[in-house]
Structure formats: structure tokens, C-alpha cells
């Protein structure tokens, strides 16, 4: 017969297995913004180059389809880290980082620094 877990230990394990990760770590909320395959790449490109047209973003990312890029930009807009603006004169659409996106860029820089220190991960 197996040993029973202490109530506190059992509660801790149930917390770790909770379906809502935000109840475990507040950072999970921010990491969910980066969930897409191209999210970090899009954020880095926009932070380095400023406002860009959809086509310019697409050309900057090798291997991304227009459909996937559109979905990813829509998700990032919904998360409040990318904004979409248009010029009435030329009917052009631009994407750029919001203040929240610029703040997230600082976190991405820290993650990139960590990744450089952990090259064999």
C-alpha cells in the first residue's frame, strides 16, 4: 500500500497540475503572448525597424506564410503589443509596437541575453 501525501504536499502538487497556469506563475500571462511560432521574430523586427507594412514584415521573415503572419499579427494586436494604423492618403497599413510591446521588448532582450549564455540548451 502506498504512502499518503501530507495535505500541504498534495495541495502543492494539485496546484502544479492546475489547468490554469496563471495560478502558478504570473509570468505565464506574458509568455502566452509569445506563444506563436513567429511572435518573437515579429516583435524583434518591429522593435529594430519601427513601423512596417505587412509585405515588408513578410519579406523579413523567411518561411512564414501570409496567412500565418496575418493570424499572428492579429493575435499580437489583440494582446495589445502591436498596433495597426493606416494612411488615408495611400491606403497603406502599418504595424508597429505599442508601449506595451516596447516594454515586452525589454523582457525579450533579457531572454536573448540568457539564451546566449546557455548555448547548449
pLDDT tens digits along 75-119: 999 889 999 998 777 778 899 999 999 999 998 899 889 989 998
The pLDDT of residue 7 is above 70? no
- What confidence score (pLDDT) does residue 34 get? 83
Tell me, what DSSP letter sits at residue 51? S
Whether the Cβ atoms of residue 110 and residue 34 lie closer than 8 Å to each other: no
What pLDDT is stored for residue 89 in this prediction? 79
Write the pLDDT tens digit of every residue in 28-71.
777 878 888 899 999 999 999 999 999 999 999 999 999 999 99
Structure letter (DSSP) for residue 61: S
**4 vs 14: CA distance, rounded Å:** 14
Catalogue the E-assigned strands of 74-113.
82-87, 92-97
Do the beta carbons of residue 57 and residue 8 sit within 8 Å? no
pLDDT at 17: 38
What per-residue confidence (pLDDT) applies to 4? Answer: 59
Residues 6+ apart with CB under 8 A from 95: 46, 51, 52, 53, 54, 57, 73, 82, 83, 84
Residues 6 or more apart whose CB falls under 8 angstroms from that of 36 comprise 71, 72, 75
Kindly indicate the confidence band of residue 2, based on its pLDDT and cuts at 50, 70 and 90: very low
Amino acid at each position: 500500500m502506498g504512502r499518503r501525501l501530507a495535505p500541504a504536499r498534495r495541495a502543492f502538487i494539485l496546484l502544479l497540475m492546475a489547468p490554469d497556469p496563471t495560478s502558478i506563475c504570473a509570468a505565464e500571462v506574458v509568455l502566452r503572448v509569445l506563444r506563436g511560432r513567429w511572435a518573437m521574430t515579429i516583435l524583434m523586427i518591429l522593435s529594430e525597424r519601427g513601423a512596417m507594412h505587412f509585405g515588408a514584415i513578410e519579406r523579413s521573415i523567411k518561411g512564414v506564410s501570409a496567412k500565418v503572419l496575418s493570424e499572428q499579427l492579429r493575435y499580437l494586436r489583440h494582446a495589445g503589443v502591436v498596433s495597426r494604423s493606416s494612411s488615408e492618403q495611400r491606403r497603406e497599413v502599418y504595424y508597429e509596437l505599442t508601449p506595451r510591446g516596447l516594454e515586452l521588448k525589454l523582457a525579450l532582450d533579457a531572454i536573448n541575453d540568457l539564451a546566449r549564455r546557455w548555448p547548449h540548451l
